Protein backbone atom coordinates (compact mmCIF):
# COMPACT_ATOMS: atom_id res chain seq x y z
CA UNK A 1 0.00 0.00 0.00
CA UNK A 2 1.43 3.43 -0.91
CA UNK A 3 2.47 5.70 1.93
CA UNK A 4 0.50 8.88 2.58
CA UNK A 5 3.22 10.96 0.91
CA UNK A 6 2.08 9.53 -2.43
CA UNK A 7 -1.47 10.71 -2.02
CA UNK A 8 -2.23 13.44 -4.52
CA UNK A 9 -5.33 15.49 -3.76
CA UNK A 10 -7.77 15.42 -6.65
CA UNK A 11 -8.97 18.66 -8.20
CA UNK A 12 -12.22 20.00 -6.90
CA UNK A 13 -15.14 18.43 -8.72
CA UNK A 14 -18.39 20.14 -9.47
CA UNK A 15 -21.09 19.86 -6.85
CA UNK A 16 -24.10 17.68 -7.51
CA UNK A 17 -27.20 19.47 -8.65
CA UNK A 18 -29.91 17.88 -6.54
CA UNK A 19 -32.62 18.86 -8.96
CA UNK A 20 -31.36 16.02 -11.12
CA UNK A 21 -31.66 12.42 -9.97
CA UNK A 22 -29.78 9.67 -11.84
CA UNK A 23 -32.09 6.92 -13.01
CA UNK A 24 -30.91 4.39 -10.44
CA UNK A 25 -31.53 3.74 -6.77
CA UNK A 26 -28.72 5.23 -4.71
CA UNK A 27 -26.84 3.71 -1.81
CA UNK A 28 -26.50 5.77 1.29
CA UNK A 29 -23.19 5.07 3.00
CA UNK A 30 -20.00 3.09 3.33
CA UNK A 31 -18.11 2.60 6.59
CA UNK A 32 -14.58 1.48 7.39
CA UNK A 33 -12.75 0.91 10.68
CA UNK A 34 -9.27 -0.26 11.65
CA UNK A 35 -7.48 -1.18 14.89
CA UNK A 36 -3.76 -1.49 14.15
CA UNK A 37 -1.20 -0.13 16.68
CA UNK A 38 1.98 1.03 14.95
CA UNK A 39 0.32 1.49 11.57
CA UNK A 40 -0.78 4.57 9.63
CA UNK A 41 -4.44 4.04 10.46
CA UNK A 42 -5.63 7.34 8.95
CA UNK A 43 -4.01 6.49 5.61
CA UNK A 44 -5.43 2.96 5.74
CA UNK A 45 -8.89 4.40 6.37
CA UNK A 46 -8.40 6.83 3.48
CA UNK A 47 -7.70 3.92 1.13
CA UNK A 48 -10.54 1.88 2.60
CA UNK A 49 -12.98 4.72 1.97
CA UNK A 50 -11.60 5.11 -1.54
CA UNK A 51 -12.58 1.48 -2.18
CA UNK A 52 -16.08 2.23 -0.86
CA UNK A 53 -16.55 5.51 -2.74
CA UNK A 54 -19.34 3.98 -4.87
CA UNK A 55 -21.50 3.80 -1.70
CA UNK A 56 -21.53 7.57 -1.13
CA UNK A 57 -20.11 10.64 -2.84
CA UNK A 58 -21.64 13.56 -0.92
CA UNK A 59 -19.25 13.74 2.04
CA UNK A 60 -16.40 11.87 3.70
CA UNK A 61 -14.79 11.80 7.12
CA UNK A 62 -12.21 10.05 9.31
CA UNK A 63 -11.99 9.96 13.13
CA UNK A 64 -8.75 8.71 14.73
CA UNK A 65 -8.09 7.79 18.38
CA UNK A 66 -4.71 7.70 20.12
CA UNK A 67 -5.62 6.10 23.45
CA UNK A 68 -7.13 9.27 24.92
CA UNK A 69 -8.50 11.68 22.34
CA UNK A 70 -10.60 11.23 19.21
CA UNK A 71 -9.57 13.58 16.38
CA UNK A 72 -11.91 14.22 13.47
CA UNK A 73 -11.75 15.65 9.99
CA UNK A 74 -14.68 15.57 7.57
CA UNK A 75 -16.09 17.60 4.74
CA UNK A 76 -18.30 17.70 1.67
CA UNK A 77 -17.14 15.91 -1.46
CA UNK A 78 -15.27 12.80 -2.53
CA UNK A 79 -12.60 11.20 -0.35
CA UNK A 80 -9.81 12.65 -2.47
CA UNK A 81 -11.37 16.12 -2.23
CA UNK A 82 -11.79 16.10 1.54
CA UNK A 83 -8.34 14.77 2.51
CA UNK A 84 -4.90 16.07 1.64
CA UNK A 85 -1.57 14.54 2.67
CA UNK A 86 -1.24 17.16 5.41
CA UNK A 87 -4.71 16.43 6.76
CA UNK A 88 -3.94 12.74 7.05
CA UNK A 89 -0.59 13.36 8.73
CA UNK A 90 -2.40 15.32 11.44
CA UNK A 91 -4.68 12.37 12.19
CA UNK A 92 -2.44 10.27 14.43
CA UNK A 93 -3.42 7.27 16.54
CA UNK A 94 -3.80 3.51 16.45
CA UNK A 95 -7.51 3.09 15.65
CA UNK A 96 -9.82 4.89 13.26
CA UNK A 97 -13.24 4.86 11.65
CA UNK A 98 -14.29 6.45 8.35
CA UNK A 99 -17.48 7.20 6.46
CA UNK A 100 -18.64 8.10 2.95
CA UNK A 101 -22.19 9.41 2.74
CA UNK A 102 -25.14 9.52 0.47
CA UNK A 103 -28.06 11.07 2.35
CA UNK A 104 -31.31 9.21 3.02
CA UNK A 105 -32.26 10.90 6.32
CA UNK A 106 -31.15 14.52 6.54
CA UNK A 107 -30.03 16.73 3.68
CA UNK A 108 -26.56 16.72 2.15
CA UNK A 109 -24.82 19.40 4.24
CA UNK A 110 -21.65 19.67 6.35
CA UNK A 111 -23.41 19.22 9.71
CA UNK A 112 -24.75 15.84 8.55
CA UNK A 113 -21.36 14.51 7.42
CA UNK A 114 -19.94 11.60 9.44
CA UNK A 115 -18.33 10.28 11.60
CA UNK A 116 -20.14 12.04 14.42
CA UNK A 117 -17.82 12.69 17.38
CA UNK A 118 -19.10 13.77 20.79
CA UNK A 119 -18.32 13.75 24.50
CA UNK A 120 -20.53 11.94 26.97
CA UNK A 121 -20.29 10.66 30.55
CA UNK A 122 -17.56 8.15 29.70
CA UNK A 123 -15.40 10.30 27.44
CA UNK A 124 -15.14 10.79 23.70
CA UNK A 125 -17.00 8.62 21.21
CA UNK A 126 -17.11 8.54 17.41
CA UNK A 127 -19.87 6.90 15.32
CA UNK A 128 -20.25 5.98 11.64
CA UNK A 129 -23.60 4.63 10.42
CA UNK A 130 -24.82 2.84 7.29
CA UNK A 131 -28.58 2.30 7.15
CA UNK A 132 -31.84 3.98 8.02
CA UNK A 133 -33.72 4.07 11.33
CA UNK A 134 -37.44 3.69 10.63
CA UNK A 135 -38.73 4.93 14.01
CA UNK A 136 -36.40 7.94 14.14
CA UNK A 137 -39.16 10.57 14.30
CA UNK A 138 -40.73 8.98 17.36
CA UNK A 139 -37.37 8.52 19.12
CA UNK A 140 -36.17 12.03 18.39
CA UNK A 141 -39.40 13.53 19.68
CA UNK A 142 -39.10 11.49 22.86
CA UNK A 143 -35.49 12.50 23.40
CA UNK A 144 -36.17 16.16 22.70
CA UNK A 145 -39.05 16.16 25.18
CA UNK A 146 -36.65 15.10 27.92
CA UNK A 147 -33.92 17.63 27.16
CA UNK A 148 -31.81 16.27 24.30
CA UNK A 149 -30.52 18.78 21.75
CA UNK A 150 -29.54 18.01 18.16
CA UNK A 151 -27.03 19.65 15.85
CA UNK A 152 -27.72 17.63 12.72
CA UNK A 153 -30.83 16.31 10.97
CA UNK A 154 -29.62 12.71 10.63
CA UNK A 155 -31.06 9.60 12.22
CA UNK A 156 -27.49 8.75 13.27
CA UNK A 157 -27.51 11.55 15.86
CA UNK A 158 -30.50 9.90 17.52
CA UNK A 159 -28.34 6.80 18.01
CA UNK A 160 -25.64 9.02 19.54
CA UNK A 161 -28.15 10.55 21.94
CA UNK A 162 -29.51 7.18 22.99
CA UNK A 163 -26.02 5.88 23.77
CA UNK A 164 -25.31 9.03 25.80
CA UNK A 165 -28.65 8.61 27.58
CA UNK A 166 -27.51 5.17 28.71
CA UNK A 167 -24.08 6.50 29.66
CA UNK A 168 -24.22 5.16 33.22
CA UNK A 169 -23.81 1.67 31.73
CA UNK A 170 -20.71 0.31 29.98
CA UNK A 171 -20.47 1.21 26.29
CA UNK A 172 -21.47 -2.32 25.23
CA UNK A 173 -24.48 -2.26 27.55
CA UNK A 174 -25.46 1.21 26.30
CA UNK A 175 -25.28 -0.02 22.70
CA UNK A 176 -27.44 -3.05 23.53
CA UNK A 177 -30.08 -0.80 25.13
CA UNK A 178 -29.91 1.42 22.06
CA UNK A 179 -30.39 -1.59 19.76
CA UNK A 180 -33.56 -2.49 21.66
CA UNK A 181 -34.93 1.03 21.09
CA UNK A 182 -34.15 1.54 17.42
CA UNK A 183 -35.86 -0.16 14.47
CA UNK A 184 -34.70 -0.48 10.90
CA UNK A 185 -31.33 -0.92 9.23
CA UNK A 186 -28.00 -0.13 10.83
CA UNK A 187 -24.43 -1.22 10.50
CA UNK A 188 -22.38 0.85 12.96
CA UNK A 189 -18.76 1.51 13.82
CA UNK A 190 -17.89 3.25 17.09
CA UNK A 191 -14.55 4.29 18.59
CA UNK A 192 -13.58 5.47 22.01
CA UNK A 193 -10.02 6.52 22.86
CA UNK A 194 -8.87 2.90 22.83
CA UNK A 195 -11.67 0.63 21.54
CA UNK A 196 -13.40 -0.09 18.25
CA UNK A 197 -16.92 -1.55 18.17
CA UNK A 198 -18.71 -3.03 15.13
CA UNK A 199 -22.48 -3.50 15.32
CA UNK A 200 -25.02 -4.96 12.86
CA UNK A 201 -28.80 -4.81 13.17
CA UNK A 202 -30.62 -8.10 13.93
CA UNK A 203 -31.91 -8.47 10.36
CA UNK A 204 -28.53 -7.79 8.73
CA UNK A 205 -29.97 -5.36 6.20
CA UNK A 206 -26.72 -3.61 5.34
CA UNK A 207 -23.44 -5.52 4.93
CA UNK A 208 -20.51 -5.44 7.35
CA UNK A 209 -17.46 -7.72 7.37
CA UNK A 210 -14.40 -8.35 9.53
CA UNK A 211 -10.82 -8.80 8.35
CA UNK A 212 -7.35 -9.37 9.80
CA UNK A 213 -4.15 -7.57 8.85
CA UNK A 214 -1.08 -9.75 8.20
CA UNK A 215 1.11 -7.70 10.58
CA UNK A 216 -1.53 -7.74 13.30
CA UNK A 217 -4.69 -5.75 13.81
CA UNK A 218 -8.24 -5.87 12.52
CA UNK A 219 -10.32 -4.13 9.90
CA UNK A 220 -14.13 -3.81 9.61
CA UNK A 221 -15.81 -2.55 6.42
CA UNK A 222 -19.07 -2.39 4.52
CA UNK A 223 -17.62 -4.54 1.74
CA UNK A 224 -14.74 -6.97 1.44
CA UNK A 225 -13.24 -4.98 -1.46
CA UNK A 226 -12.08 -2.45 1.16
CA UNK A 227 -10.35 -5.22 3.13
CA UNK A 228 -8.53 -6.29 -0.04
CA UNK A 229 -7.45 -2.72 -0.71
CA UNK A 230 -5.58 -2.42 2.62
CA UNK A 231 -4.15 -5.95 2.44
CA UNK A 232 -6.46 -7.51 5.03
CA UNK A 233 -7.79 -11.07 4.87
CA UNK A 234 -11.51 -11.47 5.34
CA UNK A 235 -12.34 -13.53 8.42
CA UNK A 236 -16.13 -13.44 8.22
CA UNK A 237 -19.22 -11.27 8.02
CA UNK A 238 -20.41 -9.55 11.17
CA UNK A 239 -23.51 -11.54 12.12
CA UNK A 240 -26.96 -9.93 12.42
CA UNK A 241 -27.51 -8.75 16.00
CA UNK A 242 -23.80 -9.04 16.84
CA UNK A 243 -21.43 -6.62 18.60
CA UNK A 244 -17.68 -7.07 18.03
CA UNK A 245 -15.27 -5.24 20.32
CA UNK A 246 -11.60 -4.77 19.36
CA UNK A 247 -9.03 -3.42 21.82
CA UNK A 248 -5.57 -4.20 23.20
CA UNK A 249 -6.90 -7.54 24.52
CA UNK A 250 -7.87 -8.60 21.00
CA UNK A 251 -11.26 -9.50 19.62
CA UNK A 252 -14.44 -10.29 21.57
CA UNK A 253 -17.86 -11.04 20.07
CA UNK A 254 -21.38 -11.30 21.44
CA UNK A 255 -24.75 -11.83 19.77
CA UNK A 256 -27.12 -9.59 21.68
CA UNK A 257 -30.31 -9.68 19.60
CA UNK A 258 -31.65 -12.74 17.81
CA UNK A 259 -33.63 -11.95 14.66
CA UNK A 260 -36.85 -13.63 13.64
CA UNK A 261 -35.32 -13.87 10.18
CA UNK A 262 -32.45 -12.50 8.10
CA UNK A 263 -33.25 -9.75 5.60
CA UNK A 264 -30.07 -8.92 3.69
CA UNK A 265 -30.64 -6.25 1.03
CA UNK A 266 -30.81 -8.11 -2.29
CA UNK A 267 -30.08 -4.90 -4.21
CA UNK A 268 -26.52 -5.03 -2.88
CA UNK A 269 -26.02 -8.00 -5.23
CA UNK A 270 -28.08 -6.64 -8.12
CA UNK A 271 -26.57 -3.17 -8.35
CA UNK A 272 -24.89 -1.48 -5.37
CA UNK A 273 -21.93 -3.51 -4.23
CA UNK A 274 -18.67 -3.77 -6.11
CA UNK A 275 -18.56 -6.99 -8.14
CA UNK A 276 -15.31 -8.09 -6.45
CA UNK A 277 -16.92 -8.00 -3.00
CA UNK A 278 -18.15 -11.04 -1.12
CA UNK A 279 -21.20 -10.39 1.06
CA UNK A 280 -22.73 -12.91 3.45
CA UNK A 281 -21.19 -15.85 1.63
CA UNK A 282 -21.88 -14.81 -1.97
CA UNK A 283 -19.50 -13.19 -4.46
CA UNK A 284 -21.34 -10.29 -6.09
CA UNK A 285 -19.99 -10.92 -9.60
CA UNK A 286 -20.93 -14.60 -9.49
CA UNK A 287 -24.45 -13.77 -8.31
CA UNK A 288 -24.92 -11.28 -11.16
CA UNK A 289 -23.70 -13.87 -13.67
CA UNK A 290 -26.10 -16.46 -12.26
CA UNK A 291 -28.96 -13.95 -12.53
CA UNK A 292 -28.13 -13.55 -16.21
CA UNK A 293 -28.13 -17.30 -16.78
CA UNK A 294 -31.50 -17.59 -15.04
CA UNK A 295 -32.84 -14.76 -17.21
CA UNK A 296 -31.82 -16.72 -20.33
CA UNK A 297 -33.60 -19.81 -19.04
CA UNK A 298 -36.79 -17.80 -18.50
CA UNK A 299 -36.82 -16.06 -21.92
CA UNK A 300 -35.77 -17.55 -25.28
CA UNK A 301 -35.37 -14.27 -27.14
CA UNK A 302 -33.90 -14.45 -30.66
CA UNK A 303 -31.23 -11.84 -31.48
CA UNK A 304 -27.79 -11.40 -33.06
CA UNK A 305 -25.95 -10.06 -30.00
CA UNK A 306 -26.12 -9.71 -26.22
CA UNK A 307 -24.85 -6.33 -25.00
CA UNK A 308 -24.70 -5.00 -21.41
CA UNK A 309 -25.45 -1.57 -20.02
CA UNK A 310 -22.06 -1.12 -18.31
CA UNK A 311 -20.98 -1.71 -15.67
CA UNK A 312 -23.58 -3.29 -13.41
CA UNK A 313 -25.28 -5.10 -16.34
CA UNK A 314 -22.07 -6.65 -17.63
CA UNK A 315 -21.87 -9.79 -15.48
CA UNK A 316 -25.57 -10.60 -16.06
CA UNK A 317 -25.12 -10.11 -19.82
CA UNK A 318 -22.16 -12.51 -19.84
CA UNK A 319 -24.26 -15.05 -17.94
CA UNK A 320 -27.14 -14.63 -20.40
CA UNK A 321 -24.78 -15.12 -23.36
CA UNK A 322 -23.27 -18.26 -21.79
CA UNK A 323 -26.69 -19.82 -21.24
CA UNK A 324 -28.32 -18.74 -24.52
CA UNK A 325 -25.35 -19.24 -26.84
CA UNK A 326 -25.91 -15.78 -28.34
CA UNK A 327 -22.59 -13.89 -28.82
CA UNK A 328 -21.64 -11.29 -26.17
CA UNK A 329 -20.36 -7.92 -27.39
CA UNK A 330 -19.52 -4.65 -25.72
CA UNK A 331 -21.89 -2.49 -27.72
CA UNK A 332 -21.88 0.44 -25.30
CA UNK A 333 -18.63 1.96 -24.04
CA UNK A 334 -18.60 3.71 -20.68
CA UNK A 335 -16.54 6.83 -20.05
CA UNK A 336 -14.72 5.85 -16.85
CA UNK A 337 -13.56 9.39 -16.17
CA UNK A 338 -16.93 11.09 -16.01
CA UNK A 339 -16.73 11.60 -12.25
CA UNK A 340 -19.30 13.95 -10.75
CA UNK A 341 -20.33 15.87 -13.81
CA UNK A 342 -24.04 15.39 -13.31
CA UNK A 343 -24.99 19.03 -13.52
CA UNK A 344 -27.85 19.18 -15.97
CA UNK A 345 -30.19 22.10 -15.47
CA UNK A 346 -31.83 21.64 -18.87
CA UNK A 347 -33.21 18.64 -20.76
CA UNK A 348 -30.72 19.16 -23.60
CA UNK A 349 -27.79 18.98 -21.20
CA UNK A 350 -29.25 15.89 -19.53
CA UNK A 351 -29.42 14.18 -22.93
CA UNK A 352 -25.81 15.15 -23.57
CA UNK A 353 -24.82 13.76 -20.16
CA UNK A 354 -26.04 10.27 -21.14
CA UNK A 355 -23.91 10.47 -24.30
CA UNK A 356 -20.97 11.62 -22.21
CA UNK A 357 -21.33 8.56 -20.00
CA UNK A 358 -22.23 5.94 -22.63
CA UNK A 359 -21.36 5.78 -26.31
CA UNK A 360 -22.61 3.07 -28.73
CA UNK A 361 -20.11 1.23 -30.93
CA UNK A 362 -21.61 1.67 -34.39
CA UNK A 363 -19.33 -0.90 -36.06
CA UNK A 364 -20.59 -3.59 -33.66
CA UNK A 365 -24.26 -2.65 -33.63
CA UNK A 366 -25.32 -1.43 -37.09
CA UNK A 367 -28.00 -3.62 -38.70
CA UNK A 368 -28.12 -6.02 -35.73
CA UNK A 369 -30.91 -7.24 -33.50
CA UNK A 370 -29.66 -6.89 -29.89
CA UNK A 371 -30.54 -8.10 -26.42
CA UNK A 372 -29.60 -5.27 -24.05
CA UNK A 373 -29.24 -6.26 -20.40
CA UNK A 374 -29.35 -3.92 -17.41
CA UNK A 375 -29.63 -4.62 -13.69
CA UNK A 376 -32.88 -2.75 -12.99
CA UNK A 377 -35.39 -0.23 -14.29
CA UNK A 378 -36.49 2.64 -12.05
CA UNK A 379 -37.84 5.69 -13.86
CA UNK A 380 -36.86 4.65 -17.38
CA UNK A 381 -35.49 8.04 -18.42
CA UNK A 382 -31.93 6.81 -19.03
CA UNK A 383 -33.12 3.58 -20.65
CA UNK A 384 -35.17 5.57 -23.16
CA UNK A 385 -32.12 7.61 -24.12
CA UNK A 386 -29.94 4.52 -24.50
CA UNK A 387 -32.50 2.80 -26.73
CA UNK A 388 -32.66 6.00 -28.79
CA UNK A 389 -28.88 6.00 -29.21
CA UNK A 390 -28.96 2.38 -30.40
CA UNK A 391 -31.67 3.21 -32.94
CA UNK A 392 -29.56 6.13 -34.20
CA UNK A 393 -26.72 3.64 -34.73
CA UNK A 394 -28.86 1.55 -37.02
CA UNK A 395 -29.81 -1.21 -34.56
CA UNK A 396 -32.71 -3.15 -36.05
CA UNK A 397 -34.35 -4.50 -32.87
CA UNK A 398 -33.77 -3.72 -29.17
CA UNK A 399 -34.96 -6.32 -26.67
CA UNK A 400 -34.49 -4.95 -23.15
CA UNK A 401 -33.96 -7.55 -20.40
CA UNK A 402 -33.60 -6.81 -16.68
CA UNK A 403 -31.73 -9.06 -14.24
CA UNK A 404 -34.20 -8.19 -11.48
CA UNK A 405 -38.00 -8.13 -11.07
CA UNK A 406 -39.98 -4.88 -11.51
CA UNK A 407 -39.18 -2.26 -8.82
CA UNK A 408 -42.61 -1.23 -7.54
CA UNK A 409 -42.04 -0.11 -3.93
CA UNK A 410 -39.81 2.41 -2.17
CA UNK A 411 -37.05 1.33 0.22
CA UNK A 412 -36.96 2.53 3.85
CA UNK A 413 -33.83 0.65 4.94
CA UNK A 414 -31.02 2.70 3.45
CA UNK A 415 -31.58 2.96 -0.29
CA UNK A 416 -32.81 6.17 -1.86
CA UNK A 417 -35.27 4.92 -4.48
CA UNK A 418 -37.60 7.28 -6.25
CA UNK A 419 -41.01 7.97 -4.78
CA UNK A 420 -43.38 5.15 -5.64
CA UNK A 421 -45.26 7.46 -8.00
CA UNK A 422 -42.04 7.81 -10.06
CA UNK A 423 -41.33 4.08 -10.34
CA UNK A 424 -42.20 3.17 -13.91
CA UNK A 425 -43.19 -0.42 -13.16
CA UNK A 426 -45.55 0.72 -10.41
CA UNK A 427 -47.77 2.59 -12.83
CA UNK A 428 -47.29 1.11 -16.32
CA UNK A 429 -47.75 -2.31 -17.91
CA UNK A 430 -44.90 -4.00 -19.75
CA UNK A 431 -46.43 -2.94 -23.07
CA UNK A 432 -46.73 0.67 -21.92
CA UNK A 433 -43.12 0.71 -20.69
CA UNK A 434 -41.98 -0.70 -24.05
CA UNK A 435 -43.63 2.24 -25.77
CA UNK A 436 -42.22 4.70 -23.22
CA UNK A 437 -38.61 3.63 -23.70
CA UNK A 438 -38.96 2.64 -27.38
CA UNK A 439 -37.90 -1.02 -27.01
CA UNK A 440 -39.22 -3.93 -29.10
CA UNK A 441 -39.57 -6.12 -26.01
CA UNK A 442 -39.20 -5.87 -22.23
CA UNK A 443 -38.50 -8.83 -19.96
CA UNK A 444 -38.02 -8.93 -16.17
CA UNK A 445 -36.38 -11.70 -14.20
CA UNK A 446 -38.99 -13.38 -12.02
CA UNK A 447 -38.87 -13.00 -8.23
CA UNK A 448 -38.70 -16.78 -7.87
CA UNK A 449 -35.89 -17.00 -10.42
CA UNK A 450 -33.90 -14.26 -8.68
CA UNK A 451 -34.19 -15.88 -5.25
CA UNK A 452 -33.50 -19.33 -6.68
CA UNK A 453 -29.94 -18.22 -7.46
CA UNK A 454 -29.27 -18.27 -3.70
CA UNK A 455 -30.41 -21.88 -3.28
CA UNK A 456 -31.19 -22.86 0.30
CA UNK A 457 -30.50 -19.28 1.47
CA UNK A 458 -33.25 -17.75 -0.68
CA UNK A 459 -35.31 -16.76 2.37
CA UNK A 460 -32.49 -14.62 3.82
CA UNK A 461 -33.20 -11.49 1.78
CA UNK A 462 -35.32 -8.36 1.90
CA UNK A 463 -37.33 -8.11 -1.34
CA UNK A 464 -39.62 -5.25 -0.25
CA UNK A 465 -38.82 -3.10 -3.31
CA UNK A 466 -40.20 -5.90 -5.51
CA UNK A 467 -43.12 -7.27 -3.49
CA UNK A 468 -43.85 -4.75 -0.69
CA UNK A 469 -43.12 -7.26 2.09
CA UNK A 470 -41.29 -5.00 4.57
CA UNK A 471 -39.53 -7.03 7.29
CA UNK A 472 -39.58 -4.09 9.74
CA UNK A 473 -42.45 -1.66 10.21
CA UNK A 474 -42.07 1.40 7.97
CA UNK A 475 -42.98 5.01 8.84
CA UNK A 476 -46.68 5.74 9.09
CA UNK A 477 -48.17 6.40 5.66
CA UNK A 478 -44.98 5.19 3.98
CA UNK A 479 -43.93 8.80 3.56
CA UNK A 480 -40.76 8.92 1.43
CA UNK A 481 -40.38 12.57 2.39
CA UNK A 482 -39.12 11.15 5.70
CA UNK A 483 -35.64 11.92 4.30
CA UNK A 484 -36.29 15.54 5.22
CA UNK A 485 -38.57 14.88 8.19
CA UNK A 486 -35.91 16.05 10.65
CA UNK A 487 -35.04 19.26 8.77
Residues labelled catalytic: 29
Among 237, 175, 229, CA closest to 206: 237
d(CA 485, CA 475): 11
Determine the distance from the C-alpha atom of residue 268 to the mean position of all C-alpha atoms in its chain, rounded to a whole number: 7
Beta-ladder partners of 116: 127
d(CA 185, CA 49): 21
Beta-ladder partners of 105: none
d(CA 261, CA 247): 31
> What values do phi and psi take at 32, rounded to 5?
-145, 135
Burial 389-407 (b: 16+ CB within 10 A, else e): bbbebebebbbbbbbbbbb
d(CA 451, CA 456): 9
d(CA 48, CA 287): 24
d(CA 34, CA 49): 12
- What radius of gyration do the chain's Cα atoms show? 23
d(CA 207, CA 92): 28
Q: 387, 438 in Cβ contact below 8 A?
A: yes
Q: What is the dihedral of CA 70, 71, 75, 77, to 10 degrees?
A: -90
Q: 410, 383 in Cβ contact below 8 A?
A: no
Describe the crossing of helices 284-298 and 314-324 by its angle, rounded to 10 degrees.
40
Q: 401, 299 in Cβ contact below 8 A?
A: yes
3-state percent helix, strand, coil for the chain, nearest multiple of 5: 35, 25, 40
Amino acid sequence: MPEPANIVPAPKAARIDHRYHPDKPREECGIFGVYAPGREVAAMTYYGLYALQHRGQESAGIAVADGRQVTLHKGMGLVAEVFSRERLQNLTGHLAIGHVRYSTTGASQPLNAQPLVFRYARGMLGLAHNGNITNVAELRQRLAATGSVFQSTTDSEVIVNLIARYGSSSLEEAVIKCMIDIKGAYSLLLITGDRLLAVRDPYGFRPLCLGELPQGGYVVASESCALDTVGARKLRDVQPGEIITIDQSGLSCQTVLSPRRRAHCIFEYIYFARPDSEIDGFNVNQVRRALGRQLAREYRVQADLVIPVPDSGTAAARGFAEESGIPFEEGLMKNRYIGRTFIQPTQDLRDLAVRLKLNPVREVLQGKSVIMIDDSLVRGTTSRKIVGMLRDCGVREVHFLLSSPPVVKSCYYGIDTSDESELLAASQTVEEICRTIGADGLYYLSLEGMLGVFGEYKHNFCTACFDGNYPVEIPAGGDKKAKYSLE
